[in-house]
Amino acid sequence: MKPLEVIHSSLEKRILVELRGGREYRGILEGYDHPHLNLILRNAEEIIEGEKKRELEKVIVRGDNIVYILPP
Amino acid sequence: MKPLEVIHSSLEKRILVELRGGREYRGILEGYDHPHLNLILRNAEEIIEGEKKRELEKVIVRGDNIVYILPP
Amino acid sequence: MKPLEVIHSSLEKRILVELRGGREYRGILEGYDHPHLNLILRNAEEIIEGEKKRELEKVIVRGDNIVYILPP
Amino acid sequence: MKPLEVIHSSLEKRILVELRGGREYRGILEGYDHPHLNLILRNAEEIIEGEKKRELEKVIVRGDNIVYILPP
Amino acid sequence: MKPLEVIHSSLEKRILVELRGGREYRGILEGYDHPHLNLILRNAEEIIEGEKKRELEKVIVRGDNIVYILPP
Amino acid sequence: MKPLEVIHSSLEKRILVELRGGREYRGILEGYDHPHLNLILRNAEEIIEGEKKRELEKVIVRGDNIVYILPP
Amino acid sequence: MKPLEVIHSSLEKRILVELRGGREYRGILEGYDHPHLNLILRNAEEIIEGEKKRELEKVIVRGDNIVYILPP
**CATH number of this structure's domain G3-15+24-64:** 2.30.30.100
Confidence of residue A35 (pLDDT cuts 50, 70, 90): confident
Which residues of chain A neighbour B68 with C-beta distances below 8 Å?
25, 59-62
Q: What is the pTM of this model?
A: 0.89
| Chains with at least 3 CB pairs less than 8 angstroms from chain A | B, C
CA dihedral (F62, F68, G1, G5) in degrees, to 10, reads 0
pLDDT at residue C66 greater than cutoff 90 = yes
Q: What is the pLDDT of residues B22-68, one digit of tens each?
A: 889 999 999 999 888 999 999 999 998 889 988 999 999 999 999 99
Q: What is the pLDDT of residues A15-34, one digit of tens each?
A: 999 998 889 999 999 999 98
The CATH class, in words, for A3-70 is mainly beta
Question: Which pLDDT value is given to residue E32?
Answer: 97
Min Cα separation C38/chain A (Å): 7
Residues 6+ away with beta carbon under 8 Å from C28: C12, C13, C14, C15, C41, C42, C43, C44
Residues 6+ away with beta carbon under 8 Å from E50: none
| Whole-number Cα distances in Å, A37 to C13, C39, C63 | 26, 14, 12
> H helices within B1-72, ranges in order?
3-8
Contact at CB, C5 and E31, closer than 8 angstroms: yes
> Cα-atom radius of gyration of chain F, to the nearest Å?
11
| Whole-number Cα distances in Å, B14 to B25, B44, B47, B72, F15 | 10, 9, 15, 6, 43
In this structure, what are the phi and psi dihedrals at residue G3, rounded to the nearest 5 degrees? -50, -40
For residue D25, the one-letter residue type is Y
Question: Which pLDDT value is given to residue F35?
Answer: 86
Contact at CB, E71 and G65, closer than 8 angstroms: no
d(CA C59, CA C16): 13
Residue ranges per structural domain of chain A:
3-70
Q: Is the four-CA dihedral E54, E55, E57, E58 of positive or negative sign?
A: positive
Q: What is the pLDDT of residues D12-65, one digit of tens each?
A: 999 999 998 888 999 999 999 988 899 999 999 999 888 998 899 999 999 999
d(CA C23, CA C54): 12
B33: nearest CB among D2, D67, D71: D2
